[in-house]
């Protein structure tokens, strides 16, 4: 039998170690300190094609992460609507902000890049982004390229 | 005909045993207040169940993390994605390997000890002796051990995961030479506190509950002979591990199922 004081000390150390490990996971491994989107606002963006965009994909302005995609669904006209959660700490975006879906690296995940315009008015919670550019689909580009190549050689 | 009958008997026996185990658990949970008021008993058991398991958790966590670092690097470097090594190590550990491997080790190290201890108490008629003195062995013996297991398991899983990530860092950054900044930043980008870390903690709570439940029930329900205790100990490890793996599949499909 271990003495009671020693035992309590050991159990205390064990609990501290466990809580410390959890804190390390939360702050060092996870992104608990990252962009806080719970105190933000949401925008909607309508795309023809969202490609491989997934929920939780990052939203960036000039490469700086300002939020994440909250939901993706489809409206009655078969447009894909992405709901964007944007953190408040980065100020307000002008009304004519454009959204495009880009790919990080050649095979990386897709993200939404916003390009602020010069409008005086700002976007408010629930507004819709109208200037959008769809995802880049490699197969479509290749077939278009081949088609224009073939058409070009016919003309000669 | 005989085969079908014996199958039916087997099923009925299983169901009856499950019912016994559930009633037993309810009786233990009914004594929660008494057990937690005498918290020094829980602390003593946390020493047996938790503190003494830390060493094996530390060593296995370190090695699992190091192996993940090596294997992940070999696979990822084929795609030129070495920078995601940190993400791979952290996600596999927080979501799956941390809670599951810690629970398997917990079943082998702590669960078997709990069963053997309670089983021997029964075989040497200590439990019957307590009842003679109007001490309820469920609140005096079983409940402190159960709560000690329930509290220890999430802490052990967290320690396992943290040490594993450190092991992956040791091999990935220290040995192979993946860029340190990319290792951490890709990890922090991809690991979500709520979806990955918190779900892992929930998993480890569930595993702690189930493994300790099986361990104390098998001990309490043992046939009071040396052979009975040995069988009960084996059953704890086998059933506990199987329950962890099966539950892990269900929990994973519930937590990460829909996209």
Decide if A23 is inside a domain: yes
Least confident of A27-36, A46-55, A67-76, B27-36: A27-36
Q: What's the pLDDT at A137?
A: 77
Q: Which residue has the tokens 């669960």?
A: B111
Decide if A154 is inside a domain: no
Decide if A153 is inside a domain: no
Decide if A125 is inside a domain: yes
Decide if A85 is inside a domain: yes
Of the pLDDT bands very low, low, confident and very high (cuts 50, 70, 90), residue B167 is very high
CA distance B139 to chain A (A): 21
pLDDT at B129 over 60: yes
Q: What's the pLDDT at A55?
A: 78
Regarding whether A20 and A82 lie in a shared domain, the answer is: no
Contacts of A83 (CB under 8 A, 6+ apart): A42, A43, A44, A69, A70, A71, A72, A73
Regarding whether A77 and A20 lie in a shared domain, the answer is: no
Regarding whether A1 and A76 lie in a shared domain, the answer is: no
Q: What is the pLDDT of residues A84-103, one digit of tens each?
A: 888 877 777 888 888 888 88
CA A14/CA B148 separation, integer angstroms? 12
Regarding whether A126 and A88 lie in a shared domain, the answer is: yes
User: How many domains would you assign to chain A?
Assistant: 2
Q: What percent of chain A has pLDDT over 70?
A: 88
Regarding whether A26 and A56 lie in a shared domain, the answer is: no
Decide if A151 is inside a domain: no
Decide if A126 is inside a domain: yes
Q: What's the pLDDT at B259?
A: 46
Regarding whether A81 and A24 lie in a shared domain, the answer is: no
Q: What percent of chain B has pLDDT over 90?
A: 63
Q: What's the pLDDT at A154?
A: 62
Please compute the mean of the pLDDT values over residues A41-59 and round it to a whole number. 83
Q: What's the pLDDT at A90?
A: 74
Q: What is the pLDDT of residues A110-147, one digit of tens each?
A: 888 888 888 888 888 888 888 888 877 778 888 888 88
Domain that holds residue A7: 1-33
Residue A58, strand partner residues = A68
Nearest to A26 among B44, B163, B197 (CB): B197
**Partner B contacted by A64 (CB < 8 A):** no
**Partner A contacted by B87 (CB < 8 A):** no
- Cβ contact, residue pair B197, A30, below 8 Å: yes
Regarding whether A52 and A23 lie in a shared domain, the answer is: no
Q: What's the pLDDT at A68?
A: 81
Q: Is A50 exposed, middle or buried (0-12, 13-18, 19+ CB in 10 A)?
A: buried
Work out whether strand A131-133 and strand A80-87 pair parallel, antiparallel, or are unpaired: unpaired
Regarding whether A5 and A54 lie in a shared domain, the answer is: no
- Contact residues on chain A for B155, CB-CB shorter than 8 A: 14-15, 17-19, 21-22
Regarding whether A131 and A59 lie in a shared domain, the answer is: yes
The arrangement of strands across the sheet holding A40-47 comes to A128-129, A40-47, A80-87, A64-74, A58-61, A110-115, A98-103, A131-133
Q: What's the pLDDT at A105?
A: 67
Decide if A152 is inside a domain: no
- Cβ contact, residue pair A25, B163, below 8 Å: no
DSSP B7: H
CA A149/CA A27 separation, integer angstroms? 53
pLDDT at B57 over 50: yes
**Partner B contacted by A27 (CB < 8 A):** no
Regarding whether A28 and A105 lie in a shared domain, the answer is: no
Please compute the mean of the pLDDT values over residues B192-214 and round it to a whole number. 90
Regarding whether A129 and A77 lie in a shared domain, the answer is: yes
Regarding whether A49 and A29 lie in a shared domain, the answer is: no
């Amino acid at each position: 039998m271990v003495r009671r004081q020693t035992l309590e000390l050991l159990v205390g150390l064990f609990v501290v170690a466990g809580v410390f490990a959890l804190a390390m996971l939360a702050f060092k491994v996870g992104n608990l300190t990252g962009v806080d989107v719970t105190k933000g606002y949401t925008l909607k963006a309508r795309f023809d094609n969202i490609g491989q965009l997934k929920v939780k994909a990052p939203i960036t302005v000039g490469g700086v992460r300002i939020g994440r995609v909250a939901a993706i669904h489809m409206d009655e006209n078969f447009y894909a609507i992405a709901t964007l959660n944007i953190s408040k700490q980065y100020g307000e975006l002008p009304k004519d902000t454009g959204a495009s879906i880009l790919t990080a690296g050649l095979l990386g995940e897709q993200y939404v890049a916003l390009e602020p315009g010069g409008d005086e008015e700002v976007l408010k919670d629930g507004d819709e982004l109208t200037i959008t550019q769809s995802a880049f689909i490699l197969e479509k580009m290749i077939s278009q390229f081949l088609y224009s190549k073939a058409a070009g050689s016919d003309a000669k | 005909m005989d085969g079908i009958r014996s199958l039916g008997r087997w099923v009925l026996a299983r169901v009856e045993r499950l019912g016994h185990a559930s009633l037993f658990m309810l009786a233990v949970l009914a004594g929660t207040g008494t057990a937690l008021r005498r918290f020094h008993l829980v602390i003593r058991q946390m020493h047996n169940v938790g503190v003494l398991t830390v060493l094996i958790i530390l060593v296995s966590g370190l090695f699992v993390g190091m192996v993940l670092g090596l294997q992940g690097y070999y696979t990822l470097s084929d795609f030129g994605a070495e920078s995601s090594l940190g993400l791979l190590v952290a996600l596999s550990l927080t979501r799956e390997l941390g809670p599951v491997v810690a629970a398997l080790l917990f079943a082998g190290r702590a669960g078997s000890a709990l069963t053997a201890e309670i089983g021997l108490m029964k075989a040497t008629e200590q439990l019957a002796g307590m009842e003679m003195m109007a001490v309820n062995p469920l609140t005096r013996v079983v409940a402190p051990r159960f709560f000690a297991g329930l509290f220890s398991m999430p802490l052990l899983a967290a320690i396992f995961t943290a040490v594993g990530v450190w092991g992956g860092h040791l091999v990935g950054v220290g040995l192979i030479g993946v860029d340190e900044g990319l290792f951490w930043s890709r990890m922090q980008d991809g690991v979500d506190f709520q979806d990955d870390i918190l779900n892992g903690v929930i998993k480890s709570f569930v595993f702690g509950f189930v493994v300790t439940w099986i361990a104390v029930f098998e001990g309490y329900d043992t046939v009071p002979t040396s052979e009975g205790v040995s069988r009960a100990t084996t059953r704890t490890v086998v059933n506990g591990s199987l329950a962890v793996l099966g539950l892990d599949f269900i929990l994973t499909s519930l937590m990460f199922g829909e996209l």
